[in-house]
């Protein structure tokens, strides 16, 4: 119930291509869905986040698509660049729980030049 399932585990995309990472959740009490980007040796950093009252949020080359009925959400990275190579975590939390963040298992993204 508290899990967030993420796929794929790893992803290789050519420069300029679209990177797509998918996540699914069970607990309908989740009301905040952030994506984190983590570079080696660094802590996770918030990339973009969405709440379930909207179906899409776009910030630059990064877009979250959210399907409330299917309990799924995904991250799309347009025009992927080598600097986007990192591990990406989807996550979920409930405002009622002091913002404990439940992380997905992570996707290691490599962008080939």
Partner 1 sequence: EPEVTQTPSHQVTQMGQEVILRCVPISNHLYFYWYRQILGQKVEFLVSFYNNEISEKSEIFDDQFSVERPDGSNFTLKIRSTKLEDSAMYFCASSASYVSEQFFGPGTRLTVL
Residues 6+ apart with CB under 8 A from 69: none
- Is the Cα torsion angle 29, 34, 40, 43 positive or negative in sign? negative
Segment 76 to 105, residues that bind partner 1, using CB under 8 A: 89, 95, 97-105
Q: In angstroms, what is the minimal distance from the CB of 2 to partner 1?
A: 10
Q: In angstroms, what is the minimal distance from the CB of 22 to partner 1?
A: 15
* Number of residues located near partner 1, criterion CB under 8 A: 22
Q: In angstroms, what is the minimal distance from the CB of 65 to partner 1?
A: 21
Q: What mask of x and - would describe binding to partner 1 in positions 27 to 66, judged by CB under 8 A?
A: -----x-x-x----xxxxxx--x-----------------
Residue where the block lists tokens 């989740």: 30
d(CA 61, CA 97): 31
Q: In angstroms, what is the minimal distance from the CB of 20 to partner 1?
A: 19
Number of Cβ atoms within 10 Å of the Cβ of 21: 21
d(CA 18, CA 60): 13
Residues near partner 1 (CB under 8 A)? 32, 34, 36, 41-46, 49, 89, 95, 97-106
């Amino acid at each position: 119930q508290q899990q967030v399932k993420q796929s794929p585990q790893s992803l290789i995309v050519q420069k300029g291509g679209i990177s797509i990472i998918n996540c699914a959740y069970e607990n309908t009490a989740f009301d905040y869905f952030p994506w984190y980007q983590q570079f080696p040796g660094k802590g996770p950093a918030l990339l973009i986040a969405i709440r379930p009252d909207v179906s899409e949020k776009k910030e630059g080359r990064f877009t979250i698509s959210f399907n409330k009925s299917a309990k799924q959400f995904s991250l799309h990275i347009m025009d992927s660049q080598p600097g986007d190579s990192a591990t990406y975590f989807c996550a979920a939390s409930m405002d009622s729980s002091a913002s404990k963040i439940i992380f997905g298992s992570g996707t290691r993204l490599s962008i080939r030049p």
